[in-house]
Structure 1
């Protein structure tokens, strides 16, 4: 005997994709996740367990379509894929599940056909060879051959979620590369770009001192050692 719900269940919801923010993502091309992490005070950087499970040729950046699922269940992931626009990144809160893959080769092929930029999840995925062939970057906790759970119709699409310890809202900017994943709140995009330009200029100056080899970081390091009372043997 099966039962059905006559009324919508609280927390089981699909919301419209918000309008695409008027932000040119190409302006971030000279920045890496490490730069963004520094600018955002290390607070919008996902857990280091979330890493690329396929070969990543270049950083990926896009607007977030957010998904929350019951651990290991991917019904809402499929709905998010239907709703996503080309260039979007699907970000999935799977509560660090270590039992079931959320997606594999078939869904990656579907995502590639639609132009989805990447998948990011704190759960597991499968079919590494097929993921590689599909060409859609996938960042996850790891790999498993175990299929998704199919009988857990719960979750949310396009609500605020947590993934890898970071709060993400639909429409936020997500950047991912070989080092990891960072999230840029859409409201902070212009400030991040301004600070990024300053940071890149500063890094260039660090690496190109007036006297070759006399990097400013050495002077600041020695000043900090002296300030904090470190005993330095003469000549060291």
Structure 2
């Protein structure tokens, strides 16, 4: 059952310094550090290749073909926030464009993730306003049906709560629960340090077969080399 017609004006956000720590890592690293959970479906794509996002979430529950609640949500945006919009059912209409982006940016918002369509993509790229969307679609929407703001939503199969942190780049979108931001940043730092050591080994010609000690398990599994 959807919670419709509600705007929660108070949400808990993680400390800005915790979000900043997380922002230096890519989606793949954060996903691994989180325990390989939290990814949105891969059909959510950036509208331009260099788009990146990291910030606490203001959630929006939309009705298909109706962007009324995005306008309502803008009022709840604070500096550094990312708007994440799910829909009560699948819809690829163009919910979002340049004017709403200008409104969100004026309040300090960093971008949008939406399980729906986006338009005005050339203008959004010129503004360097990151949007990750299900589709690019010029078809407009109406403003007639209530949804909600700052309620839990499902966006591209990922459960998102207000105040969670979303990280997005060309590899995808991952959602980090609000109470795990600090420990995920710690785990991501350790992964990066470990990968840097491996990167140096690969660069001088060492093989993954040896770095990861694969030869013994491969032999046990029955792998044979034939001249």
TM-score with structure 1 length normalisation?
0.86
Alignment pair present for 1:232 and 2:224: yes
Structure 1 partner of 2:114: 121
Query: 1:218 and 2:212 equivalent?
Result: no
Question: Displacement of 1:179 after TM fit?
Answer: 1.1
Instruction: Look up the SS of the partner of 1:223 in the other structure.
Output: helix
- Between the aligned partners of 2:92 and 2:105, the Cα distance in structure 1 is 26
In the alignment, which of 159, 166, 182 is matched to residue 174 of structure 1?
166
- Moved >4 Å (runs of 4+): none
* Contact 2:68–2:142 (CA under 8 A) maintained in structure 1: no
Aligned-pair Cα RMSD in Å: 2.2
Q: Deviations over 1:19-48 (max 9, x none)?
A: 432241221243110001112232201110
Structure 2: stretches of 5+ with no match in the other structure: none
What is the CA–CA distance in structure 1 between the aligned matches of 2:13 and 2:53, rounded to whole Å?
A: 17
* Structure 2 counterpart SS, 1:206: helix
Alignment pair present for 1:80 and 2:81: no
Cα shift at 1:110: 1.7
Q: Quick one: distance in 2 between partners of 1:140 and 1:102? A: 10
Q: CA deviation at 1:132?
A: 1.8
- Report how many residues are paired: 223
Greater Cα shift, 157-166 or 217-226: 217-226
> In the TM superposition, what is the alpha-carbon distance from 1:194 to its structure 2 partner?
1.6
Please name the residue that 1:6 is paired with.
Answer: none
Is 189-198 or 107-116 further displaced after alignment?
Answer: 107-116
Task: Please identify the structure whose Cα radius of gyration is greater.
Answer: 1
Relative contact order, higher structure (CA 8 A, sep 6+): 2
Cα offsets for 1:65-101 (capped at 9, x unmatched): 0011111211111111111012100000025634421
Cα 1:67–1:211 change in 2 (3 A) is closer
Which residue of 2 is the match for residue 22 of structure 1? 15
1:106 alignment partner in structure 2: 99
**Alignment CA distance shift 1:71-1:40 (3 Å):** same
Q: Which runs of 5+ in 1 are unaligned?
A: 1-8
Quick check: 1:38 aligned with 2:25?
no
TM-score, length basis structure 2: 0.89
